[in-house]
Chains A and B, each alone.
Chain A
């Protein structure tokens, strides 16, 4: 690639171009978009009220199986609620939780990482110890403990997950910042009398954003699974709001008699997480400069 051509694009633009060229990643991004759209438009496209129980439809099979009907295309759960509608509404919860958690965690983690990596000294030590302390705590024990402490509820789930997720972006940003603070452009800014705040936010931050993006998407997949695990332990979102995790967890007792109740949301999680992983892999391929030096 000629330098002249490369010079015409910003690192971000360059990454986007590489991402666009990656068909798998594009497909994955399309799947995520589809899920997001489905979640957003759930109230209009869902055929039924997701909380509307009809015990006489208990465990009704999907339409293509014997005993199913097209009014309830994916069948019904143990309370006779339409699984398709619950999946659509569940997507809102699962995506919302994942997105909010990852955003908050990324912001906190990035700021902490910048401070630790740029200011060094006691700030770094303090943040480093905090990170170690949180990592020294087994995630599930931590999550269960906090959920027990704060009580059930969507906002508490988000809080519990954020508590630990920020650590991951923090670590990455700290490393990148350590490298960046030795770079010429930082030296130059410092020589021009820029304060630490300016240097961190204006000079270094733009350069550490792509790794944060990659870490954030990778962690998003974990967050979705964690939400499911909390549901398994009875600490998930409150009914009647469906989340995919709680749907899988609640349906597990019927795996033999009514596989669809648990399997369909399981597949939804699988697809979403798969798509997120593939997309983030594409992002990494597109944005990680180390992969393009050759």
Chain B
């Protein structure tokens, strides 16, 4: 395998609140190589978005990274001056968001928002060239008559077009890493496949590294060779997607799988995970899932670390071995 393009070690991101600090990402490790796709799965609030906002240096105050190391192409992003980090952002690592309607600025035309990236990173020498490139980009994501629609405002686009335009903006500077935060949730099945195909193509041809944040395990199963499951700020399980889905080694992963409908067995009864995510400001050192876990035992109250669980996988459950079939 290539040396990883992105390597995160021991990331700890904290939001101070009036009720005490909330550790939104706790001791997160991850790696993504060029041309690789990593799926990140978890409920909202599990820390998956925070982890990657930390990577991109886009944490909103008062949130801040307390510990850890973020290596991108061998450079520690945490030690990089703001200006250099900014130069990387959008150029080498990009973000695609879930809801294009809110991600696109309602007050600017699509054309402006695409060319902005091109001009900022000096990919296009002037406005004329930038507009030509922008039209090409939009065409590439499947927007018809793109050149004429550059001067449209986001609200004049249909939902699917908007989403693709947003992805086109993310990809405008041909980044090496794309963090895609639920990029296709809003799209219908056909468009979803189209966009994901485009990402696959870029991955294969340009060596784009993809971090696909989603709660849709089906998409991960289909598109990402590796997956990482997060719960309450921690990575609870990671490994090759196929193995994780087939044989989960953490009760939470299993719960997630059971709560999802399956294409091959649509009549299977669904089992939503009972209970609620614990208050992140009031955590004890033990397993964070144990209040919802059918397998919880007294020992679960002791600190749990990520342990190898076979097949190149890691699990944060002391009873992982018992879960082997």
Contact = CB atoms under 8 A, between A and B. Distances in A.
Contact of A3 (B19, B276, B281, B282): B276
A256 interface: no
Contacts of B19: 1
B180 to A, nearest CB: 22
B18 A4 contact: no
Q: Which of B18, B278, B279 has the most CB of A within 10 A?
A: B279
Interface in A1-34: 1-5, 21
Task: For the complex of A and B, list the 3 residue pairs with the smallest distance between their C-beta atoms, beginning with the closest.
Answer: A2-B279, A21-B18, A3-B276
Interface of B: 18-19, 276-279, 281-282
B279 A5 contact: yes
Given A1-B19, A2-B278, A5-B279, 6 more contacts: A1-B279, A1-B281, A2-B276, A3-B276, A4-B276, A21-B18
12 contacts: A1-B19, A1-B279, A1-B281, A2-B276, A2-B277, A2-B278, A2-B279, A2-B282, A3-B276, A4-B276, A5-B279, A21-B18
Contacts of B282: 2
Interface of A: 1-5, 21
Majority SS at the chain A contact face: helix
Nearest to B19: A1
A283 to B, nearest CB: 16
A5 B281 CA distance: 12
A5 B276 CA distance: 11
A15 to B, nearest CB: 14
Residue from A2, A3, A4, A5 with most neighbouring chain B CB atoms (10 Å) = A2
B21 to A, nearest CB: 14
Nearest to B60: A294
A5 B279 CA distance: 9
Nearest to B279: A2
Contacts of A21: 18
Nearest to A18: B18
A3 to B, nearest CB: 6
Contacts of B276: 2-4
Contacts of A2: 276-279, 282
Nearest to B17: A1
Nearest to A21: B18
A4 B279 CA distance: 10
Contacts of A4: 276
B99 to A, nearest CB: 15
Contacts of A5: 279
A14 to B, nearest CB: 12
